[in-house]
Amino acid sequence: MSNATSHGVSTPAAEAATGERGRSRLARKASAYVALTKPRVIELLLVTALPTMFLAAGGVPPIGALLATLLGGFLSAGSANAFNMIIDRDIDRVMHRTKQRPLVTGALSVAEAHVFAWTLAVVSTLVLGFFANWLAAGLSIVAIAFYVLVYTMLLKRRTEQNIVWGGIAGCFPVVIGWAGVTGSLDWPAWILFALVFLWTPAHYWPLSMKYRDDYEAADVPMLAVVRGRPMVGIQVILYAWASLACTLLLIPVAGMGLLYATVAVIAGAWFVGEAHALYGRAIAGEREIRAMRVFHASNTYLTLIFLAVGVDPLLPF
């Protein structure tokens, strides 16, 4: 062993290795913070907020309001999701699909998560308030509070209707988007709010059918845990039909054109058909009812509807 090594003097190779380990730790920490925001959930929220802003503006919205609302909404949703993971870390350890979340693995401490969640909440409010308007900022605060206090802390572990009323939190991006552009709330915004509200059970209950054992182990009374599969299937059908009806209501209220009307009818019929097929497999007692097919179909359906919402105002017919 050389004198340099024996006396503890770093070699270039050792320094490089130390630097690489430091960058690796930093990357893992950054990845854990991103995971804390549930980015896939946020993507879906932005899918509803952005097109709503185009409808509110009757075309392309002001770029400043658009960017501020999207950034503020992103940070707000990330804050709510981070608080959710803090509160639910006990059941996340039990459920197979959530056991790799950062507060379960130890990638982040609870204290770090709290600082992160509160920072996002404050920054999101300031961004929306100063660069969009304070109505949008106020709605953002209500959305965070509702998701954390009403859904996560009050409903989730107490009632089979948890996702119905708790899903209201996921409806706020549309009214925040509308308010961010107009500074007000009009009937089309509330119809889109109702659409997301009605869509959420039809979207989430198939997922809960797939992960029924997880929720049962965690003692979370999702509908799939406390009711049989046929009952879940019929509920998915009812909410799918209600979603379709709500999309059609937007046509006269917001003066939607041919593109939106066509997409609403065709995509809605397809989504309702998938819901009926799920119910058919459930009452037939099939072992594999392919619940995730309806879950993924619901994502596609909502994306198509809101894509039409955003594009329709740009067309001359």
Nearest to 179 by CA among 218, 135, 216, 143: 135
Same domain for 222 and 283?
A: yes
Nearest to 166 by CA among 154, 178, 176: 154
Same domain for 211 and 286?
A: yes
Flag whether 263 is in a domain: yes
Contact 248, 263 (CB under 8 A): no
Domain end call among 148, 165, 183 = 183
Flag whether 18 is in a domain: no
Contact 311, 60 (CB under 8 A): no
Same domain for 177 and 210?
A: no
Alpha-helix runs per DSSP H in 218-290: 223-226, 229-254, 258-283
Domain count, the chain: 2
Same domain for 176 and 197?
A: no
Flag whether 23 is in a domain: no
Same domain for 240 and 142?
A: no
Flag whether 3 is in a domain: no
Q: Is the dihedral of CA 294, 298, 304, 308 positive or negative?
A: positive
C-alpha angle 216/222/228, rounded to 5°? 85
**Exposure pattern of 42-59 as b/e (b: 16+ CB <10 Å)?**
bebbbbbbbbbbbbbbee
Flag whether 11 is in a domain: no
Same domain for 178 and 194?
A: no
Same domain for 150 and 54?
A: yes
CATH number at residue 243: 1.20.120
Q: How far is CA 288 from CA 18, 186, 190, 259, in A?
A: 50, 44, 38, 36
Contact 211, 95 (CB under 8 A): yes
Q: How far is CA 205 from CA 44, 133, 214, 233, 293, in A?
A: 17, 35, 13, 9, 12
Tell me the C-alpha distance between 9 and 71, whole Å: 47
pLDDT of residue 23: 72
Domain end call among 158, 183, 208 = 183
| Alpha carbon 54 to its chain's center | 20
pLDDT of residue 6: 45
Would you give the DSSP letter of residue 146?
I
CATH number at residue 53: 1.10.357.140
**pLDDT 10s per residue in the chain (317 long)?**
444 444 555 676 666 666 666 677 889 999 999 999 999 888 888 899 999 999 999 999 999 999 999 999 999 999 999 999 999 999 999 999 899 999 999 999 999 999 999 999 999 999 999 999 999 999 999 999 999 999 999 999 999 999 999 889 999 999 999 999 999 999 999 999 999 999 999 999 999 999 999 999 999 999 999 998 999 999 999 999 999 999 999 999 999 999 999 999 999 999 999 999 999 999 998 878 899 999 999 999 999 999 999 999 999 88
Owning domain of residue 110? 28-183
Alpha-helix runs per DSSP H in 147-186: 162-166, 172-182
Flag whether 6 is in a domain: no
pLDDT of residue 14: 61
pLDDT of residue 317: 80
pLDDT of residue 2: 44
Q: How far is CA 221 from CA 2, 19, 224, in A?
A: 65, 48, 8
Same domain for 97 and 158?
A: yes
Nearest to 139 by CA among 67, 86, 193: 193
Same domain for 167 and 220?
A: no
Same domain for 177 and 193?
A: no
Flag whether 165 is in a domain: yes
Same domain for 179 and 258?
A: no
Domain end call among 156, 183, 210 = 183
Contact 189, 299 (CB under 8 A): no
Tell me the C-alpha distance between 85 and 38, whole Å: 9
Q: Which two tokens stand for residue 80?
A: 């709510």
Flag whether 197 is in a domain: yes
| Alpha carbon 98 to its chain's center | 16
Same domain for 207 and 282?
A: yes
